[in-house]
Amino acid sequence: MKLVIGNDHVAVEMKQEIKAYLEEKGIEVIDVGTNSTSRFNYPVSGYKAAKLVAEGKADGGILICGTGVGISLAANKVKGIRACVCSEPYSAKLSKQHNNSNMIAFGARVIGIETAKMIVDEWLNASYEGERHQIRVDMIAEIEETGHLAVAEK
């Protein structure tokens, strides 16, 4: 498995710890974030990470900024990306099972490293359940593709 990780300047330490945690599990990690605490604009790493996932060059991605919000907003602008901000493991697991999330995000100013590891583990161990969820994921894709959701405009 190959994952991409992206971060900004407030999440350097957490990024490094999560990267090492993944590598200990034998997961290859592409790091597109910064390793400096100088100001770094989170859309840069959010976009780079999202592109690698959308193009199939990474199997998924982890995004970390102060809150996880800005970097996930940037990633979600890339077609095909479903990046979910999670501050606890339950949402991380369900984001994969129900929403087929291909990236997760969290905030270095919001959660601690042990919660971050639990979030990563739950997300990695979960599988998309498809079936009844697919129609909803398809609706999200329709909005992304066309700017409309036909069923809601009747």
Contacts with ligand RB5, residue ranges (CB under 6 A): 8, 10, 42, 65-67, 69-70
- Residue nearer to ligand RB5 on the CB measure, 49 or 124: 49
Query: Residue by residue, what is the 3-state secondary structure of the chain?
Result: CEEEEEECHHHHHHHHHHHHHHHHCCCEEEECCCCCCCCCCHHHHHHHHHHHHHCCCCCEEEEEECCCHHHHHHHHCCCCCCEEECCCHHHHHHHHHCCCCCEEEEECCCCCHHHHHHHHHHHHHCCCCCCHHHHHHHHHHHHHHHCCCHHHCC
- Residue nearer to ligand RB5 on the CB measure, 119 or 124: 119
Shortest Cβ distance from residue 35 to ligand RB5 (Å)? 15
Shortest Cβ distance from residue 31 to ligand RB5 (Å)? 17
- Catalytic, 98? Answer yes
Q: How many CA atoms lie within 13 A of 69 on its CB side?
A: 4
- Residue nearer to ligand RB5 on the CB measure, 60 or 70: 70
Catalytic residue among 9, 84, 98, 148: 98
Shortest Cβ distance from residue 104 to ligand RB5 (Å)? 15
- Catalytic, 65? Answer yes
Shortest Cβ distance from residue 74 to ligand RB5 (Å)? 9
- Residue nearer to ligand RB5 on the CB measure, 9 or 93: 9
Catalytic residues: 65, 98
